[in-house]
Chain A
C-alpha cells in the first residue's frame, strides 16, 4: 500500500479555464493546489462554481487555458484509464451486461476474453453485485448502476478516481451505503479521489481534505483538513468535531452563495437601464 501511495499525485498550478459558449466565460481562475497520492479530496462550493470543470480538466476532457496540470509529474494530455471518471448519472454501455461493462477497460487494453471476464466477476463481487453479472444496466437500480460504474473504473487500477456527484441521484439510505462502500474500497486500493458534491456531510464523512471553492470564476477559497479518525462510523455526523467542521464549511459556502447573488443583482442593476 505504501508504494501505491506515491502514485496519483496531482499538481495544479495557476489553472485557469475558459469555457466556450455564446459568451466565452471564465469558469476557473488560477487554481493552485497539490494533492498527494492516495489522498481523498472533496470539493464543495456554490452551484456553477466550476467544480465539475475542474474534474473534467483532470480527466482530460477540457484543456486549461492557462497554468499547469500534472499527474505524477506528467502533464495531462487527454483522457486515459489511469484517471477514472464516475458521473452522477451512470454512463454504462446500455448494450453490454454488467459483467461486460466492467470488463470493458480490460478489453481496451487487450486482455484476453476469459481472463478479463473472470477479473470483472471479481470486481462485481467486490462491489456487492455477485449474481447480477448478466443484467443489462436498465435492469439495475440506480445504486447498483453506480456500483457497476465504480467497479468498471477500478478494474483499470487508476491512480486517480474522479467522482462528479456520483451519489447525487440516489436516495438517502442508498447514498449512505454507497459512501461506506466507497470508503472501504478506497481504504483497500488507495487511489487518489477527487469527489465533487453539494452535500457538506458527505464531503466531511469521506475526505481527508475539503476544498471550498468561491463562486464563479472558481478559485480555492479555503482548504479544510478533516482530521477525524478513520474508520468513521455513521454517527460521526453528530460528533462535536464534525459539527464544528460542518459549521465552518456551511459559513464559507453560504458566504460564497451570498456573494454570487449580490454579484448577480449588481449585474442586473447595470443591465436594467440598458433594457429600458
Chain B
C-alpha cells in the first residue's frame, strides 16, 4: 500500500463539520431554553393543583362533572402524611413492588422469548399469534375470577394479572423489532460465518433491542396500570389494595393518595427501564443523532 493511500482517509471531519456545528447550535439553543421550559412546566403543574383546590373548596358543580365529593389537595396532603406515618406503608409498597416486578419479570422473559420466535419463524407465528391475539383485548378485571380459580394462592393470581398487563406490549414490540431487522445484516453476517444461533444472538436480538426497550417501558406502565385490579384480590397489603379499600370505606382522600402513589411509581419504573435501555445501547443514540 502506498503512503498516499494510507494517509488519504476520506476527510470526514471537514465534510461533516458544518452539519455538526448546526446541530450543536440547535442543542445549545435548546439548553438555553430548557431551564425556562422546566419553570414553565412546574408553574403549569402548580396552576392545575390550585384550580383543583379551588374547585374542591367551592364544591364546584359543572353539571356533567361535580367536585362536591372530590377531596381537595390539602386533604390529600394530610391523608398522604397519615400514610407516611403509618407502619403499614412499608408493607403496602413492598407488597406492590414485589407483585408488579414479579409479573413484569415473567412477562419480560416470556414476551421477549415468544416475540423473537414469532418474529423469526412463520410456523411459530401462525401457531401462537392467533390465540394470543384473542387473549390480548381481555382486560385485567375480566381475568380476576379465572385467575383466582387457576392459581393455588391469591399472591400468584395477582402476579398473573400484572403479568398479563405487561406481556402484550413487550411481545408485540419484540415481534415488531425482529421483523424490522435489516435483511442485509442477516445476509452479510451469514457470509461472515454466522450460524443460526449467532444470527439470533448477534443480529436479531440487538437489532430488535430498541423496539424491545420501548415495549418494556410501556409494559412496565401497564403492569402498574393493572395493580389496583390485581390487588382487589389482596387480603391486607398493597397500594392497589389500599386504594380499593379506601373506596369501599369511603375515605376519598386516601383514594387519591393511592392513585398518586401508583402514578409516581409507574412513572419512576418506566424511566428506570428507559435509562437502562440507554446504558445498554450507546450506539442507538449515536445513530439517531447522525440519521
Note whether A and B form a binding pair.
Answer: yes
Interface residues of A (CB under 8 A from B): 59-61, 78-81, 83-85, 87, 89, 91, 93-96, 104-105, 108-109, 126, 128-129, 136, 138-144, 152-153, 156, 174, 177, 180-181, 184-185, 188
User: B291 contacts the other chain (Cβ, under 8 Å)?
Assistant: yes
Among B1, B15, B184, B290, which residue has its beta carbon within 8 angstroms of that of A139? B290
Which B residue sits closest to A104, measured CB to CB? B192
Closest residue of chain B to A176 (Cβ to Cβ) is B8
Partner of A144, one of B1, B9, B202, B290: B9
Is A138 in contact with B192, judged by CB distance below 8 angstroms?
Answer: no
Residues of chain B at interface, number, CB under 8 A: 38
Query: Taking CB as reference atom, which chain A residue is nearest B198?
Result: A108
Q: For residue B14, give the distance in angstroms from its CB to the closest CB of chain A.
A: 11
* A108, A128, A140, A185: the one within 8 Å of B192 (CB): A108
| With contact pairs A156-B193, A184-B1 given, residues A136 and B286 touching in the complex (Cβ less than 8 Å) | yes
Instruction: Indicate if the CB atoms of A108 and B10 lie closer than 8 Å.
Output: no
Q: Give A202 Cβ to nearest chain B Cβ, in Å.
A: 17
Chain B nearest Cβ from A119, distance in angstroms = 14
- What is the chain B residue whose CB lies nearest that of A152? B192
The answer on a CB contact under 8 Å between B193 and A105 is yes
Q: Are A144 and B191 in contact (CB under 8 A)?
A: no
A160 to B2 CA separation, bound complex (whole angstroms): 24
Cross-chain pairs A/B with CB under 8 angstroms, 18 sampled:
A60-B191, A78-B190, A79-B187, A83-B191, A84-B192, A85-B187, A85-B191, A94-B287, A108-B193, A129-B9, A138-B283, A139-B290, A144-B10, A156-B193, A180-B5, A181-B5, A184-B1, A184-B2
Q: Tell me, rounded to whole Å, the shortest Cβ–Cβ distance linking A101 to chain B.
A: 9
Residues on the B chain within 8 Å of A126, using CB:
1
Closest chain B CB from A65 CB (angstroms): 20
B194 at interface by CB-CB < 8 Å: yes
Q: Roughly how many angstroms separate A126 CA and B191 CA in the complex, as a whole number?
A: 21
Contact A95 B10 (CB under 8 A): no
Q: Mark B1-19, 1 if CB is under 8 A from A, else 0.
A: 1100111111010011000
Cβ of B185 within 8 Å of any chain A Cβ, yes or no, is: yes
